[in-house]
Amino acid sequence: MGKENSITLNDRERQLLALKEYVTSLAGNNPNGKIEFVGVNVEGTGADKTRHRLLKAHALPLLAATTVDEVVAAANSVQTSLNSLDIYQDVMLSIDSPCPGQLTALINLPSAKRFLAQTGTSFGNGEGSGYIRCTAKNHFGLGEIFTVDTSVGTRTKSATLFQASAPLAGVLPLRWRAELLAYGAEKSVDWASHREQVRGATIRITSPKHTFGLDYVLRSLYASKVRPSATVRSQAGHATKYSAFYNWNYDSRNNAFLPTSGALVKVCNEVAAGDYPYLKTCVDFVRGFRISEKISMSISGRCGGLVPLNGQSHISDRFFLGGPLDVRGFRISRLGRNDEGDAVGGDAVMAGGLSLYAPVPRVSSPNLRLHAFINGGSVRPYGQGVLQTFSNMLSTPPSIATGFGLLYAHPAARFELNLTFPLTSHAGEQSHKGLQFGVGLSFL
Amino acid sequence: MRVPGPVKAVFDQFPLKEYPEISNHSAANERDVRLFVYNVGPDHIAMDPNGLAVQTLMKVLGKDVEVALGSPYMTKNEKLPLLVLSGGKRDGSGVYSGLDEILGFLVGEEEKLDGEMELFKVMLDKWLNEAWLATILSEDYEKQCLTVYSSDRDRSQPWPANRIITNQLLDHLGAQGRHRVVRHFNSHTTSMALHSLATKLGDAKFFSVGQLACGGNLGLLDILVYSYIWSIFKHIPNSALASLVPLSLSEHARRVHQYVYNSSE
């Protein structure tokens, strides 16, 4: 789901400004005057059902605030952290002053639906799916959420996920959560003539920026052709993986689908043992710019490497490029090595893209844009060491495509319809000259 | 569909420049003829009857082959053994899966099977194969079954992966053959089949049926019967099935093994 767009953020900024003026007035119109909270009350259906310890941990920043700026920051932080628990409908916080220099806060916590069953369809990332999702929230008063999700799709033939999640307030800073996931899925990997079944479990702790976790997964790879490539043959069957991972995420974009300011940086690191041990790291970034009042631009890139520790990497762990969501002008995952007709990906990846967005003449919607792009990338197998692998990559030209089209930034996903023109490619890669349609949440 | 002129003119403004193919290590690794089987013993001989039959046939025919561990999921039809000829071809030709397809390729190169051989082949498929699977799939022989049909790597996976793998393997083996294998075989018909083979062998050293051009005294029937009897005595020697095997067939199996692999056990 996309972030709030710029209008929502401006609303938020206006709200905070109004709050600051209000708190200043409560402090006797002295922005530097000392003030303190003498009480924080909570009410609402959600408050009754949540344990006192959790609420206290979230309200604590208010009690520590002693200046106007601190009060505003604390009020914002408390509201954000309580909303992020995802167990309340819409957290409201009001501040009053019973006597000069003293404040009280009233937090209204209407409970979100404690049991929810949903069915629906979704699309994106090159596939469509139907799902059933059941969620149980805060039944033990710990802010815990249990989710069971099952879906069937065009590429991910079936997927089931059980997730238990609870906040770690009091143990770690606010907004950290502990999560336990058990999952199973079967997906069709058309570009490498096999289907893959995964069954696994993950335990992780997350915050908006950091995720640490441990994963255990059994991957079963089944050839979907009578005569698949040597790569698929050699990896068919079962393989287990145990891994420890750390992901870092920074997002200051004003809009996830059409950024005109801010940046997204995602860093993934993984150490894996098992049948195909490896070290892996990957960096993704997107930076949005406003060129003029109506024209904006984004620059994005991806760089990653995987070091196989026993000589060969598993095809599911490798990097793949190509398709409407990353390197447009190529078919999905069809960049890089080709083994007897199967795209087998690579252990090192570099990709970049530049997009220009302009309004469509005589269309007032800010979400519909003309779009021009140039993007390219390379995926390569691991050579004799990391340096040699990247030097090989830099010494051979990347596959590049350009094009233009229409883009629609719907709040749920970004839609693109482009006319693509591949400029360079390598023999065996599958370029796509013509119309290409993409729906997704993140694009290169 | 004809591309309109103006659109074609736009496309022509962006000619595609193509560079050479990115090198592919994995394809280069398959230089030799390889036979993928479920598992091999310390002597590098396939453990299951079908894998053993193909390996033996190739040795008798003087074809060099590297026997490697495989998975039934290497092909869509989930059949092992799998024979991959040297040099990866993009169209996938040169890959043969399952006993019948490999025999068709190997023996087809030599000569067509005669009617008598066809008859014995059907009998082996119908009675001996199903008796073998029914025995080794029974709970008493689960350990032997896993030894014959799964690699050390699969067997050493931790719980619960090993349980999932084992159940899937048993399902896969149970679905082999013409019908889903029942856990009890008909000992009367199996005994009759074995005794008709013993009668056919008589006092001769070899059946010499399904004669191969460079097989010497050995015929295809010798190899197929040997692969089952050898596997029975090697992996389930104390089973009810083993007790049905006439002495002459067990001696025949030892003879073939010594003849082909130049060793006796």
On the question of pLDDT at A160 being above 50, the answer is yes
For residue B2, the model assigns a pLDDT of: 66
Contacts of A11 (CB under 8 A, 6+ apart): none
According to the per-residue pLDDT averaged within each range, which of A44-53, A300-309, B68-77, B90-99 is highest? Answer: A300-309
For residue B32, the model assigns a pLDDT of: 75
- Pairing relationship of beta strands B82-84 and B17-19 according to DSSP bridges: unpaired
3-state DSSP assignment of residue B150: coil
Residues of A in contact with B164 (CB under 8 A): 199, 218, 238
pLDDT band (50, 70, 90) for residue A415: very high
Nearest CA-CA distance, residue B259 and chain A, Å: 33
Encoding tokens for residue A225? Answer: 């052709």
On the question of pLDDT at B92 being above 70, the answer is no
Output DSSP code: residue B211: B
The stretch B66-73 carries a mean pLDDT of 93
Residues of A in contact with B25 (CB under 8 A): 381
For residue A20, the model assigns a pLDDT of: 85
Encoding tokens for residue B169? Answer: 């393997």
Contact between B71 and A423 using a beta-carbon 8 Å cutoff: no
For residue A5, the model assigns a pLDDT of: 43
On the question of pLDDT at B109 being above 90, the answer is no
For residue B88, the model assigns a pLDDT of: 54
Residues of B in contact with A344 (CB under 8 A): 24, 26
For residue A342, the model assigns a pLDDT of: 92
More confident of the two residues A156 and B115: A156
Selected for mutation to probe chain B from A183, A238, A321, A433 (highest B CB count within 10 Å) is A238
| Mean pLDDT for chain B overall | 85
pLDDT per position as a tens digit, A195-240:
999 999 999 999 999 999 999 999 999 999 888 888 999 999 999 9
ipTM of the complex, rounded to two decimals: 0.86
The stretch B119-140 carries a mean pLDDT of 88
Among candidates B19, B73, B154 on the partner chain, residue whose Cβ is nearest the Cβ of A236: B73
Nearest CA-CA distance, residue B264 and chain A, Å: 33
The stretch A345-366 carries a mean pLDDT of 94
More confident of the two residues A341 and A377: A377
3-state DSSP assignment of residue B66: strand
Contact between B17 and A423 using a beta-carbon 8 Å cutoff: yes
pLDDT band (50, 70, 90) for residue A123: confident
On the question of pLDDT at B110 being above 60, the answer is no
Beta-carbon contacts below 8 Å between A and B: 133
Per cent of chain A over pLDDT 90 is 64
- Fold topology of B31-85+92-261: Glutathione S-transferase Yfyf (Class Pi); Chain A, domain 2 (1.20.1050)
The stretch B176-204 carries a mean pLDDT of 79
Other Cβ atoms closer than 10 A to A409? 22
Other Cβ atoms closer than 10 A to B105? 13
Per cent of chain B over pLDDT 90 is 42
- Pairing relationship of beta strands A348-359 and A368-380 according to DSSP bridges: antiparallel
pLDDT per position as a tens digit, A266-298:
999 999 999 999 999 999 999 999 999 899 999
Selected for mutation to probe chain A from B23, B74, B82 (highest A CB count within 10 Å) is B74
> DSSP readout, B91-108?
T-TTEEESHHHHHHHHHH
On the question of pLDDT at A6 being above 50, the answer is no
Cα angle vertex A28, ends A25, A34, to 5°? 105
Single-letter amino acid, residue A429: E
Whose structure tokens read 């999700």? A149
Contact between A237 and B73 using a beta-carbon 8 Å cutoff: yes
The stretch B31-44 carries a mean pLDDT of 89
For residue A1, the model assigns a pLDDT of: 37
Cα angle vertex B226, ends B220, B229, to 5°? 145
pLDDT per position as a tens digit, B216-258:
778 889 999 999 999 999 999 999 999 999 999 999 999 999 9
Contact of A436 with chain B, judged by CB distance below 8 Å, is answered with no
Contact between A421 and B14 using a beta-carbon 8 Å cutoff: yes
Structural domains of chain A ordered from first start: 6-108 (3.10.20.310), 168-440 (2.40.160.50)
According to the per-residue pLDDT averaged within each range, which of A4-18, B95-109, B132-146, B210-224 is highest? Answer: B132-146
- How many whole angstroms separate alpha carbon A347 and alpha carbon B24? 12
- How many whole angstroms separate alpha carbon B16 and alpha carbon B4? 20
Encoding tokens for residue A246? Answer: 């750390």
On the question of pLDDT at B115 being above 90, the answer is no
Contact between B26 and A397 using a beta-carbon 8 Å cutoff: no
E strand or H helix at B35, and its extent? Answer: strand B34-37
Single-letter amino acid, residue B22: I
| Mean pLDDT for chain A overall | 90
Residues of B in contact with A427 (CB under 8 A): 18-21
Nearest CA in chain A to B71: A237
pTM of the predicted model as reported, rounded to 2 decimal places:
0.87
pLDDT band (50, 70, 90) for residue B27: very low
pLDDT band (50, 70, 90) for residue A260: very high
Q: Which long-range contacts (CB under 8 A, 24 or more apart) does A390-398 make?
A: A390/A305, A390/A348, A390/A350, A393/A348, A393/A350, A396/A426, A396/B19, A396/B22, A397/A424, A397/B19, A398/A350, A398/A351, A398/A424
Contact between B22 and A221 using a beta-carbon 8 Å cutoff: no
- The region that residue A210 occupies, defined by phi over 0 for left and psi between -120 and 50 for alpha, beta otherwise, is beta
For residue B178, the model assigns a pLDDT of: 44
What's the length of chain A?
A: 444
Contact between A237 and B27 using a beta-carbon 8 Å cutoff: no
Among candidates A275, A428, A431 on the partner chain, residue whose Cβ is nearest the Cβ of B153: A275
- For chain A, the three-class secondary structure string (H helix, E strand, C coil) is CCCCCHHHHHHHHHHHHHHHHHHHHHCCCCCCCCCEEEEEEEECHHHHCCCHHHHHHHHHHHHHCCCHHHHHHHHHHHHHHHHHCCCECCCEEEEEEEECCEEEEEEECCECCCEEEEEEEEEECCEEEEEEEEEEECCCCCCCEEEEEEEEECCEEEEEEEEEEEECECCECCCCEEEEEEEEEEEEEHHHCEEEEEEEEEEEEECCCEEEEEEEEEEEEEECCCCCCHHHHHHCEEEEEEEEEEEEEEECCCCCCCCCCCEEEEEEEEEEEECCCEEEEEEEEEEEEECCCCCEEEEEEEEEEEEECCCCCCHHHCECCCCCCCCCCECCCCCCCEECCEECCECEEEEEEEEEEEECCCCCCCCEEEEEEEEEEEEECCCCCHHHHHHHHHHCCCEEEEEEEEEEECCCCEEEEEEEEEEEEECCCCECCEEEEEEECCCC
Selected for mutation to probe chain B from A195, A217, A227 (highest B CB count within 10 Å) is A227
Whose structure tokens read 């979704």? A122
Contacts of B148 (CB under 8 A, 6+ apart): B38, B39, B47, B48, B136, B231, B235
Nearest CA in chain B to A378: B22
Contacts of A404 (CB under 8 A, 6+ apart): A370, A371, A372, A373, A418, A419
